[in-house]
Amino acid sequence: MLTNVKNRILIMLFLLFSVCPCKLEASPLDLYGFGSRSIAIGGAATAAADDYSVIFYNPGRMGFVQNSFGVNFLMSFDDVKISLKDRPSGYDVPTDIYNALPLDPSVRKMSERYIPTSELRHARSGTGDDPNTYTLNGGIVHDFGLYWFKVGAAFSIPLQSLVHADFHFVDEREQFFSNKLYFQLLNRRASRPSGMLAMAFRPIDWFGFGAAVNIFANIRAKTNMFVPDALDQENMYFLVNAEVKYDAAVLVGVHFEPLSWLGIGLAFRDRSWFQGEINNELQFWNFEIYEGEPVTKQNFDYSYSFSPRVVQGGLRFDFSPVSISTDVAWVMWSEFRPEVNGNDSGFNNIVTARLGVRYSPLTWLDVAIGGGYVPSPVPDQNGRTNYVDNDRVEITTGATFKLPWVEGLSVDLHAQFLTLIPRSVNKDTDASNPLIDEFPAARDIKSDEELVSSQGLQTNNPGFPGYSSSGLVATVGVGLNYAF
C-alpha cells in the first residue's frame, strides 16, 4: 500500500515538474547555472552533477545519479553600472532639421527623420543596478524500478514576474524611447519560466547516454487597425488574432566512468529563443499611404532570451574525500539573434573554462568551491551599436548538510560572485559599422542654400562618444534535496 502511494506521489511530482512550457536554456540557467550543488562547484558539472541539475548539464549522466527530487530558491542581486562619457559640443542634431532638404535636388525628403537633441523625450543616460531577481528551481530523477533506464524533469520559475520581455534598440534609434544603454546578457534575461523533460539509458556499468527535449513557446499575432480620421488617432478600431505555437530544442549527452576514480562527460545543447512575430494591417478612411494600396502591411519580428548552441566536455577525478571537476565549453554566440530587426551584432564564438572542488570532511557534510572564466562574445563597440557586455570571472562556494533524522534528506547552500572586468568603449568615426550621421549635408527648404548646421557629424546615439561598464553580480541559494 505504501509503495503504491509512493509511486503515485512520484508520478505527480514528475508531471508537476514537466508542465512548464517555456525554454530551459533561458537565464538564469545560462547565466548562473542550475541547482545549488552544481553552482557551488563553479558549474563544472558535465561529469559531476549528482542531483536533478544533471538534466541541464548532461542528461547522459542521469543513469549514474541516485533517484532524487529537490527544490531550490535562488536570489540574485547586483552592483553594476554603465557610465557614459561626457558628450562634446558640436554634435547635437539642430532644429534646422525640420526645415531641411538633401543637397541633391532630385531627392525630395531626408532619408531618415531624427529628432533635434533639444526635443528628445528623455535625456541620454546609462544604467545602474537591476532589480533583484528571485527564482524557484527544482526537478526529479527516477528509474521507476529499471536499473538501466531513467527519466527526469526540471523547472525554473521566476517569482518576481512570470515573463519579462524588455526590448530595446542598440543604436541611435533608442533615442526615440528610453535613450539609455543596457547590459545585453545580464539580469534582464533572467525573468523567464523554464521546463524540460529527459530520459537516459545505461546499457553497461561504465557508459550511459541520454537526451532532453525542451519545448518552448513562440507567439504569432495578426492585428488589424482601421482609423476613421487620421487627425483623431484616439478613435480607431483594433482587432487582434494571436496564437502560441510550440517549438523544440534538444540537449544530448554521454557519460563514461572507465575507472572508479574517473568520470568523463560530453554534452550538446541546441540553440533556442523566444520569438514574437506581429503582422499588422493598417487602413485609414479615404487615405492611402501608398498609392493604389488602401491597406498598409507592417511586419515586426522580435527575438528575446537567445541561448546559443553549446558543446561542452568535463572530467571528474575522485580521490576520497576530495572530488575535482573541470569543464570546457565552446559557445556559439556568432548565431546570436538580435532582439529587434536591424540590430547588427557580429558576436564571436567563445570558449569558457570552469573548475570545481568538493570535499567531504564528515559523513554529514560536503563543502565546495569553484570558479570560471567567461569571455564576452561582444566585439568592440566602437561604431554604431551599443551592445554592453563584459568578460567575467566567477567564484562560487557552497555546502551540503545531510540531515540525520530523515535518511536521504539534505540541505544545499551556495554563494556565487560574478565580477565584470571593467571595459571601456570609445566611438570611432572610421569604424567598420560607423555611427549614422543623423543630419547629413542639407539645404534650407526656403532659401535653397546649404545649411552650415548640417556640416560634420550630428548624432543622438546614446553611446556616443563612449562609455564604460563594470560591476558585480551575486547570487545566493538554498535547496532541499531528497535521495531515495
Residue 109 covered by a domain: no
Gap between the Cα atoms of 394 and 308, Å rounded: 20
For position 377, which CATH number holds? 2.40.160.60
Residue 116 covered by a domain: no
Gap between the Cα atoms of 122 and 139, Å rounded: 44
Residue 144 covered by a domain: yes
Grid coordinates given for 375: 569571455
**Global pTM?**
0.87
**Boundaries of domain holding 183:** 2-87+124-221+247-427+463-483
Over the Cα atoms of the chain, what is R_g? Answer: 27
Structural domain count of the chain: 1
Residue 234 covered by a domain: no
Give first-to-last CA distance, the chain, whole Å: 18
User: Mapped to the 3 state alphabet, what secondary structure does 216-260 carry?
Assistant: EEEEEEEEEEEECCCCCCCCCEEEEEEEEEEEEEEEEEEEEEEEC
Residue 110 covered by a domain: no
Gap between the Cα atoms of 390 and 43, Å rounded: 19
Residue 93 covered by a domain: no
Grid coordinates given for 302: 522580435
Residue 96 covered by a domain: no
Per-residue pLDDT of the chain (484 residues; tens, 9 = 90+): 444 444 444 444 444 444 333 333 335 688 899 999 999 999 999 999 999 999 999 999 999 999 999 999 999 988 999 999 999 999 999 999 998 888 876 665 666 789 999 999 999 988 765 678 889 999 999 999 898 999 999 998 888 776 666 778 899 999 999 999 998 877 555 466 778 999 999 999 999 999 998 877 777 888 888 888 877 777 888 888 888 777 888 999 999 999 999 999 999 999 987 777 888 888 888 877 777 778 888 787 777 778 899 999 999 999 999 999 999 999 999 988 877 665 567 899 999 999 999 999 999 999 999 999 999 999 999 999 999 999 999 999 999 999 998 999 999 999 999 999 999 999 998 898 899 999 988 998 888 899 999 899 999 999 999 999 999 999 999 999 999 9
CB under 8 A, 24+ apart: contacts of 377-380: 377/331, 377/333, 377/334, 377/336, 377/347, 377/348, 377/349, 377/350, 378/184, 378/185, 378/345, 378/347, 378/348, 379/346, 379/347, 379/348, 380/425
